[in-house]
Amino acid sequence: MTSQNTPAWRNDDLEGAVIGAFFLRGADPEVMDILATLPADVFFVRQYRDIYAGICRQARISGVIDPVLLCNEMPELAPVITDTGRKTWVKSSLEHYVAALRRNAALRDAEKTLTEALQNLRDAYTCEAAEDALKDVQNMMASLSTGKGVIQPVHIDDVLLEVVDRVECRNQGLEKSRALMTGIDELDAKTGGMEPGDLVFIAARPSMGKTELALDIIDKVTEQGHGVLLFTMEMANIQIGERMVSAAGGMPVSRLKSVARFEDEDWARFSQGVGRMTGRNIWMVDQANLTH
């Protein structure tokens, strides 16, 4: 709410709505992108600024945004955290809320800059000093922006606190692992699984089993309920599908090319493979026949 005596850039309800939208949305990809670029000082209200810092810390350590857990960490702010849910009108409007928040912060900074510049002009004892003050304010105003921010750096002290918290959670068995297990026990034992943000390359000479390994990982992770988007550059979708079905049914893929010689066991394995793969969260993009 604003009044005639309230600056145009101040909107406490909007700041509460942003916090509430974070809680309603959770740590989805769009939210994580916002957390990486939105500095805490865009919030004017100190309580919201502190809560936002807690949200960032929670998301980086555990990969979740949970108001209940945050209330336990910040009991003095629990009433404010609980109240933010009532300030959020539509959780899907988070991006618009954040854009308005950035705009308000830029207007607030502009007011502060102009106020300080006016005081510097008044305090200048020479025209040269006044001109320098004017140049300073011009540079500062040019740096203000209401657009999307850049990724914010994180100080080592904050990272170390997160490391200590994560290790303590692991020690107490409270951390929910964010690693994606491949389902290949030997590989998982060596790597500890794949963390969010990992870029993994599988490299080998031709015909050494790279595709088979990738399909085996796809089989294991989708069996856990995860989704996979597969871009195939060498094989058509139908070829990938045949390999998946044959592996799921426990039969050589070459056997599918000899259907005329199928026996009852072959048909049973084929049906088993189709049944196992039906409904899996697998999407394929066939780029094998695309021109460059």
Residue-wise pLDDT tens digits, 175-188: 666 678 888 888 88
pLDDT at 203 over 90: no
Task: Give pLDDT tens digits for 9-43.
Answer: 788 888 998 999 999 888 888 888 888 888 888 99
pLDDT of residue 150: 55
Mean pLDDT of the chain: 83
Greater pLDDT, 103 or 173: 103
Q: Residue range 141-145: average pLDDT?
A: 64
What is the average pLDDT across 128-137? 79
Name the amino acid, one letter, at 130: A
Tell me what pLDDT residue 197 has.
75
Long-range residue pairs from 78-84, CB within 8 A, at least 24 positions apart, any chain? 80/47, 80/48, 80/51, 81/19, 81/23, 81/51, 83/16, 84/16, 84/17, 84/19, 84/20, 84/23, 84/48, 84/51
In the chain, % of residues over pLDDT 90: 19
Residue 278, pLDDT score: 93
Domains, the chain, with CATH or none? 12-143 (1.10.860.10), 185-286 (3.40.50.300)
* Whether residue 146 has pLDDT greater than 60: no
- The 3-state DSSP class for residue 6 equals coil
Give the mean model confidence (pLDDT) for residues 133-158: 68
Q: What is the pLDDT of residues 81-111, one digit of tens each?
A: 988 877 766 667 788 888 888 888 888 888 8
pLDDT of 245 reads: 92
Q: 62: which DSSP letter?
A: H
Among residues 74, 24, 64, which one has the least CA distance to residue 176? 64
Length of the chain in residues, anyone? 292
Encode pLDDT of 229-277 as tens digits.
988 877 888 888 999 999 999 988 888 888 888 889 989 999 999 999 9
C-alpha atoms less than 13 angstroms from C-alpha of 2 in its C-beta half-sphere: 10
196's tokens:
């969010």
pTM: 0.56
Residue 48 has pLDDT above 90, yes or no: yes
Give the model's confidence band at 47: pLDDT under 50 very low, under 70 low, under 90 confident, else very high. Answer: very high
Instruction: Label residue 144 by pLDDT band (50, 70, 90).
Output: low
Place of tokens 């070829």: 239
